[in-house]
């Protein structure tokens, strides 16, 4: 359900009511029943849950979405608030979801947006979902993937200052991420990806004239990856690679920092992009937007990203056809 004060509850309710998902996935929502009922009432949204339960129903008969009531949202919380109570409620949903996934009771997790400041106020030091999930599952090497039909991109680092992100562009990290991308893409989609690698520096550094990372780290990492049998291409200047990817030259682009991935993804795919975490023991997708506190509680939020994220999670959980 995400942060109760953001648009998470609203898009969750709208997604649960989306008939197009009923054949694709059996949905278990982790959230606070009273809070969701109030949201549905105030925004005049359909209540599409078949039941409110404490545990994931066993057996294969249930098809309609169910709600596990977390009973953890303070009724005094209002839309748009940034609060420790809200951050804690959101984090507890993630923790419970992780337990269920590790126990095999669910095959994947779809996350609604949480607010990083609220999370921090609640005492969590994880900068975001992805890091929290990696911690909870003791996953050594995860990778964020923005997936869409038009363009798929994976940034080398995520929630770091650009200064720190630049310092992380090192041979071993690039190689490790290429291997995760190759392994997980093959697992989920059933074929080896062609991976385009974006350069860090303008014009790809122009032969070390504008930066050394391409020569020092990227070229050796790519050569090593090729020797391991990976299909990797680059490094290619960042202002050229996304046009190439869009025209089908690569299946996925590895970028050197967060915004190098999200600028093209947001421009080309908008709400159609899904954030996938690779390297976890289970499937995890996320909406590709934040809590949007400014429009929370107004009924204006689009569920498109969460519907797409849910559909992709179901597809990844089924595995390649």
Residue numbers of the site for a second copy (CB under 8 A)?
116-117, 120, 127, 158-166, 200-203, 205-207, 209-213, 237-240, 242-243, 246, 257-260, 262-268, 270
Q: How far is the CB of 47 from a second copy (least distance, A)?
A: 33
Structural tokens at position 274? 């899904």
- Angle formed at CA 89 by CA 15 and CA 11, multiple of 5 degrees: 15
Q: Give the side-chain half-sphere CA count within 13 A for 176.
A: 13
Residue environment code for 285-301, b if the CB has 16+ CB neighbours within 10 A, otherwise e: bbbbbebbbebbbeeeb
| Cβ–Cβ under 8 Å, residues 256 and 198 | yes
Which is closer to a second copy, CB of 108 or CB of 113? 113
The distance of closest approach from Cβ of residue 231 to a second copy in the complex, given in angstroms and rounded to an integer, is 22
* Residue 116 beta carbon to a second copy: minimum distance, rounded to whole angstroms: 6
Task: Please give the C-alpha separations between residue 58 and each of 24, 119, 191, 194, 283, in angstroms, as whole numbers.
Answer: 18, 32, 33, 40, 20
Q: Using the minimum distance from each CB to a second copy, give the nearer residue, 172 or 208.
A: 208
From residue 98, alpha-carbon distances to 105, 107, 134, 282 in Å are 10, 10, 10, 9
CB of 183 to a second copy, least distance (A): 26
Of 25 and 221, nearer to a second copy (C-beta) is 221
In angstroms, rounded to a whole number, what is the distance separating the alpha carbons of residues 183 and 186?
A: 5
Q: Are 200 and 256 in contact (CB under 8 A)?
A: yes
Q: Considering beta carbons, is residue 264 or 279 the nearer one to a second copy? A: 264
Shortest distance (Å) from residue 135 CB to a second copy: 17
Residue 42 or 164 with smaller CB distance to a second copy: 164
Of the pair 109, 238, the CB lying nearest a second copy is at 238
Please state the closest distance from residue 153 (CB atom) to a second copy, in A.
Answer: 11
């Amino acid at each position: 359900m995400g942060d109760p004060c953001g648009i998470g509850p609203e898009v969750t309710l709208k997604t649960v009511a989306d008939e197009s998902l009923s054949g694709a996935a059996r949905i278990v929502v982790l959230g606070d029943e009273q809070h969701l009922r109030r949201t549905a009432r105030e925004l005049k949204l359909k209540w599409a849950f078949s039941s409110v339960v404490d545990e994931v129903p066993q057996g294969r008969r249930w098809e309609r979405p169910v709600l596990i009531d977390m009973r953890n949202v303070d009724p005094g919380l209002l839309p748009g608030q940034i609060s420790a109570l809200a951050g804690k409620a959101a984090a507890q949903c993630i923790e419970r979801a992780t337990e269920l996934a590790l126990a095999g009771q669910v095959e994947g997790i779809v996350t609604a947006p949480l607010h990083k400041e609220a999370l921090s106020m609640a005492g969590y030091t994880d900068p975001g979902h992805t890091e929290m999930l990696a911690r909870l599952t003791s996953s050594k090497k995860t990778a964020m993937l923005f997936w869409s039909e038009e363009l798929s991109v994976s940034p080398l680092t995520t929630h770091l200052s650009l200064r720190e992100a630049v310092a992380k562009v090192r041979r071993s990290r690039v190689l490790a991420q290429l291997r995760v991308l190759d392994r997980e893409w093959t697992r989920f989609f059933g074929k080896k990806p062609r991976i385009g690698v974006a350069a860090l520096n303008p014009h790809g550094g122009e032969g070390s004239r504008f930066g050394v990372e391409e020569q020092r780290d990227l070229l050796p990492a790519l050569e090593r990856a090729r020797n391991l049998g990976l299909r990797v291409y680059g490094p290619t200047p960042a202002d050229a690679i996304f046009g190439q990817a869009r025209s089908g030259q690569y299946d996925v682009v590895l970028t050197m920092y967060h915004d190098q991935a999200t600028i093209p993804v947001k421009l080309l795919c908008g709400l159609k992009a899904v954030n996938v975490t690779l390297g976890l023991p289970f499937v995890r997708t996320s909406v590709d937007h934040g809590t949007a506190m400014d429009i929370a509680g107004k009924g204006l939020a689009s569920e498109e990203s969460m519907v797409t994220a849910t559909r992709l999670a179901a597809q990844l959980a089924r595995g390649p056809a």
